[in-house]
Amino acid sequence: MVETLLAFDDVRAGYGSAVVLDGVSFTIPEHGGLAVLGRNGVGKSTLLLTIMGYTRVGRGHIRWRGADVTRQPPHRRALAGIGWVAQEREIFPSLTVEENLTVAARGGRWNLSSIYDLFPRLAERRRNHGNQLSGGEQQMLAIARALMTNPALLLLDEPLEGLAPIVVEELTDAIRRMTKEGSNAFVLVEQHADIALSLTETVLVLERGRIVHSGTSADLLADHAALDRLVGLRLVEG
Amino acid sequence: MLPPVFGVLFDGLAYGMLLFLLSVGQSVTLGMMNFINLAHCSFGMLGGYLTVSLMSRYGWPFFATLPCAFIVAAIVSVGLERTLFRRLYRASELDQVLLTIGIVFISVAIAAYVFGTDQQPLQLPHYLRSSLTFMGIRFAVYRLILIGLALAITVALVLGLDYTRFGARVRAAVDNERMARGLGIDVDRTFAITFALGSGLAGLGGALSVEIVGLDPSFAFTYLIYVLIVVSVGGLGSISGSLAAAIVLGISDVAGKYYIPQLGAFLIYLVMISLLMWRPLGLLGKR
């Protein structure tokens, strides 16, 4: 039996009095990837923010390695082993690339040299400040910064959004190599459904804050009709 | 032989260093954490009274009281930060001003109750009251030590903020508090330590200032004005900006009182207005 890393049990969450997610239950095992798909504004980012502890949870429980963390503040969850790659990347502009990587680093598989192997471009830019990077480089840095905390679970919020096709390819490769390492589980929220499904083992589809489909990524990838109905077919051209 | 202007420059520099020690913490809390702490000079006053009491009542040597002034001011400030100030980090500026000005009134009342309203006597050892003569100008030993100490602290602060992991965490938390928390940085603790450091430096500045400007319960108000001038002229959150502003203002204040006594204490305000018209964000301010 595979140990459960994270479990949502009938969670209702949102901001202030607005409810964004409702009745959400799922589990994430120790290894492997979970894709979270759905149209814009269905609560995908909110799901990740709720895992991190940034939203208001009105009902239900969140468990991390069996312990209830529903009320735990974000920095405690990060220290417990959750790494977060925010949708807006949120690089620290007044820190250099290397400082961005080391500022919150914790020991483990990922260190500066293994990170620079994974993203050679960051090594070239190590002395640059966070605000001097291209969009693709910022995204690499955001992923690398989260990996440097050596999380047991990595949350990736639309890492390929708004990037040129060639950069998408480069990043997809890096994510694939990272997941092959198998040192951490990950959740991938992505608009590029085909890429997300090819990188993960299981998938959740959200609609208006509720889970409307869950299953294996391979099955959904093969079922074009279901994919079109659930997320609106979004395959990368050409 | 050097003309007397060098003596004025020297005294002004020493006075500027005092202003710098008193204000650098204010610049950091206001510029980085966006918290308006008008009670900052109350911590300076605390350091001053501590040094005077430890020396006169318990016979401590002057230099032994300085670390004490730093540590006690830091501890008291972090106590206030944890219990009162942190609740107002996201509150309006008016709320912050009202709370902290209230603390200034309370600290002034406590000082007057415990120590009376008289100027506090400070008996420095003889060697600290002596002076060296160099090319016809007398350099007071005390002021030389003051300048050296303040410069060493500036270098340590700048290097600490730019090259240590703690400094990087402070900058990260200031850049993007939410993301910093999301990476596991304990932002509350980081800010509390930063706040304590700034208040501790004010305590040290207060202890060092007794010999030069005297000490009575009005200290917390008098120097609040000077500190706010230094912070606004230097630019929010800039350590080297605060140093530059403190030196310019210290020298112009001393020079004004020496050369144009009729203008007296007003010159410092004229300098402030001209500098802010030239650079509205302060000498090294970015926002």
CATH of the domain at A203: 3.40.50.300
Query: Which residues of A fall below an 8 Å CB-CB distance to B?
Result: 52, 54, 73-75, 78-79, 83-84, 86, 90, 92-95, 99-100, 102-104, 106, 145-146, 149
Which among B169, B176, B183 has the least Cβ separation from residue A78?
Answer: B183
Q: What are phi and psi of A34, to 5 degrees?
A: -120, 125
Number of domains in chain A: 1
Domains of chain B as residue ranges with CATH: 5-278 (1.10.3470)
**Measured between alpha carbons, how far is B139 from B131 in angstroms, rounded to an integer?**
5
Decide if A134 is inside a domain.
Answer: yes
Structure confidence by residue, pLDDT tens digits, B73-108:
999 999 999 999 888 888 898 999 999 999 999 999
> What local confidence, expressed as pLDDT, does residue B277 receive?
83
Residue A98 has pLDDT above 90, yes or no: yes
- CB of B228 within 8 A of CB of B71? no
Of A82-91, B22-31, B36-45, which range is least confident?
B22-31
What residue has token string 């969450």?
Answer: A13
Residue A76 has pLDDT above 90, yes or no: yes
Residues 6+ apart with CB under 8 A from B239: B24, B27, B28, B154, B157, B158, B161
Distance from CA of B162 to the nearest CA of A (A): 9
Measure the CA dihedral A97/A98/A103/A105, to 10°: 120
- Name the helix (H) or strand (E) containing B264: none
pLDDT band at B4 (very low <50, low <70, confident <90, very high): confident
**Tokens at B45, concatenated:** 């006053």
What's the whole-number mean pLDDT along residues B137-153? 90
Predicted TM-score (pTM) of this structure: 0.86
**Measured between alpha carbons, how far is B106 from B87 in angstroms, rounded to an integer?**
19
Residue B235 has pLDDT above 50, yes or no: yes
- Name the helix (H) or strand (E) containing B239: helix B239-259
What percentage of chain A reaches a pLDDT higher than 70? 97
pLDDT band at A139 (very low <50, low <70, confident <90, very high): very high
Decide if A238 is inside a domain.
Answer: no
Decide if A28 is inside a domain.
Answer: yes
Residue of A nearest to B175 (CA): A92
Residue A180 has pLDDT above 90, yes or no: no
Q: What are phi and psi of A171, to 5 degrees?
A: -70, -40
> What local confidence, expressed as pLDDT, does residue B216 receive?
92
Decide if A195 is inside a domain.
Answer: yes
Euclidean distance between the first and the last CA atom of chain B, given in angstroms as a whole number: 45
Rounded to 10 deg, the angle between the B40-58 and B187-213 helix axes is 60
Decide if A236 is inside a domain.
Answer: no
Residue A236 has pLDDT above 80, yes or no: no
**Measured between alpha carbons, how far is B235 from B282 in angstroms, rounded to an integer?**
4
> What local confidence, expressed as pLDDT, does residue A1 receive?
53
Residue A237 has pLDDT above 50, yes or no: no
CB-CB under 8 Å, A92 with B183 = no
> What local confidence, expressed as pLDDT, does residue B286 receive?
65
Decide if A118 is inside a domain.
Answer: yes
Q: How does DSSP classify residue A133?
A: S
Decide if A82 is inside a domain.
Answer: yes
Q: What residues in A contact B174, CB-CB < 8 Å? A: 94
| Amino acid type, B276 | L
Task: Could you list the beta-strand ranges (E) of chain B.
Answer: 131-134, 137-140
Q: Minimal CA–CA distance to B133: which of B6, B25, B257?
A: B6
Domain of residue A223: give its range.
Answer: 4-231
Q: Minimal CA–CA distance to B51: which of B196, B227, B214?
A: B214
B162 touches chain A (CB under 8 A): no
Decide if A237 is inside a domain.
Answer: no
CB-CB under 8 Å, A75 with B186 = yes
B185/A237: higher pLDDT: B185
**Measured between alpha carbons, how far is A141 from A76 in angstroms, rounded to an integer?**
22
> What local confidence, expressed as pLDDT, does residue B101 receive?
95
Q: What are phi and psi of B6, to 5 degrees?
A: -70, -35
Structure confidence by residue, pLDDT tens digits, A10-51:
999 999 889 999 999 999 988 889 999 998 888 999 999 999
Structure confidence by residue, pLDDT tens digits, B24-36:
988 888 887 788 8
**Measured between alpha carbons, how far is B160 from B171 in angstroms, rounded to an integer?**
11
pLDDT band at A61 (very low <50, low <70, confident <90, very high): very high
Q: What are phi and psi of B195, to 5 degrees?
A: -60, -45
**Tokens at A82, concatenated:** 């959750």
**Measured between alpha carbons, how far is A84 from A144 in angstroms, rounded to an integer?**
11
B271/A27: higher pLDDT: A27
> What local confidence, expressed as pLDDT, does residue B1 receive?
54
Using DSSP bridges, classify how beta strands A4-15 and A56-64 pair: parallel, antiparallel or unpaired.
antiparallel
CA B39 vs CA A122, B75, B119: distances in Å: 44, 15, 21
Q: What residues in B contact A149, CB-CB < 8 Å? A: 183-184
